[in-house]
């Protein structure tokens, strides 16, 4: 009898250990799944926040302005955050976001959301030495596997996508603007000749020509477009971390109106 009781106790202990092990690994699997999907949950939340801002811009007449000359469709968003300098939108992509401008700390929104709280996705922002009206404007935005921010900018690696989506809308607070894409390029910051990429702000005629030529030469394909009359240049820049090399992807466009 004693032997059987001991055996039963051992069996119960064994089952208990097995159940505990199963429960542990189930919890571990759940935690791993949560961590795997956490970036997508976070990106969905951030995207919903920006969607609400975007919806607000569509509730006003596009060309109407207030007494300060601010387009009414951006008035409420600007009231929420006066660092907002404009809005960027590309049809057939998720790119439909405010653009921030903080000249005293150009990278302020690198890891902050529209409400100035920490966010791994940040908000698209105007780069160092640039202004919304400078000869060259560089707008930086994070890449993401979920496609938010500039995560869909690399769609322009394919010439077929470019053919159907050649226009970028980048409005300032006061002016609606359209830009025609003339280059889409990948490069590494280790390359010795990548410096024209950083020609932000005002440029001499020689610097302007050098940058345009550099962008056209670097382009993955011939767009058939190029600025001809010293039009303002807009460069959208994002990381290209999912490739071995290079580590930057940019789309360049010139102002049409």
Q: Are 153 and 94 in contact (CB under 8 A)?
A: no
pTM for the model = 0.80
pLDDT at 243: 55
pLDDT at 32: 42
> Buried b / exposed e across 181-190, counting CB within 10 Å, b at 16+?
bbbbbbbeee
Q: Are 217 and 153 in contact (CB under 8 A)?
A: no
Please give the domain boundaries of the chain with CATH numbers for all domains.
75-255 (2.40.260.10)
Q: Are 225 and 182 in contact (CB under 8 A)?
A: yes
pLDDT at 54: 78
pLDDT at 102: 97
Exposed, middle or buried, 221 (CB in 10 Å: 0-12/13-18/19+)?
middle
The CA distances from residue 96 to 58, 171, 214, 248, in Å, are 12, 11, 28, 21
pLDDT at 25: 45
pLDDT at 46: 65
pLDDT at 51: 76
The model's pLDDT over 170-184, given as tens digits with 9 standing for 90+, comes to 999 999 999 999 999
> Buried b / exposed e across 104-113, counting CB within 10 Å, b at 16+?
eebebbbebb
Spans of the chain below 70 pLDDT? 1-46, 56, 58-67, 191-193, 195-196, 241-246
Q: Is omega for the bond preceding 246 within 30 degrees of 0, making it cis?
A: yes
pLDDT at 58: 67
Give CA–CA dist 161/125, Å, rounded. Answer: 24
State the residue for tokens 């890449």.
143
């Amino acid at each position: 009898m004693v032997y059987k009781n001991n055996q039963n106790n051992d069996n119960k202990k064994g089952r208990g250990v097995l159940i505990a092990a199963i429960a542990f690994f189930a919890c571990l699997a759940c935690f791993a799944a949560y961590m795997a999907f956490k970036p997508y949950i976070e990106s969905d939340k951030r995207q919903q926040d920006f969607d609400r801002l975007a919806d607000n811009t569509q509730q006003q007449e596009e060309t109407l302005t207030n007494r300060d000359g601010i387009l009414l469709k951006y008035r409420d968003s600007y009231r929420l955050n006066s660092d907002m300098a404009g809005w960027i939108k590309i049809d057939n992509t998720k790119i439909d976001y405010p653009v921030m401008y903080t000249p005293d700390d150009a990278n302020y929104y690198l890891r902050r959301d529209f409400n100035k709280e920490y966010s791994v996705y940040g908000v698209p922002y105007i780069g160092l030495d640039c202004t919304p009206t400078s000869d060259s404007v560089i707008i930086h935005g994070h890449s993401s596997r979920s496609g938010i921010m500039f995560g869909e900018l690399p769609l322009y690696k394919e010439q077929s996508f470019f053919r159907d989506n050649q226009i970028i809308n980048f409005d300032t607070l006061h002016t609606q603007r359209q830009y025609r894409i003339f280059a889409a390029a990948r490069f590494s910051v280790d390359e010795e000749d990548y410096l024209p990429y950083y020609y932000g702000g005002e440029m001499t005629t020689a610097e302007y020509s050098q940058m345009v030529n550099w962008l056209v030469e670097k382009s993955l394909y011939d767009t058939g477009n190029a600025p001809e009359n010293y039009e303002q240049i807009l460069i959208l820049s994002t990381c290209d971390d999912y490739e071995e090399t290079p580590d930057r992807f940019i789309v360049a466009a010139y102002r049409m109106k």
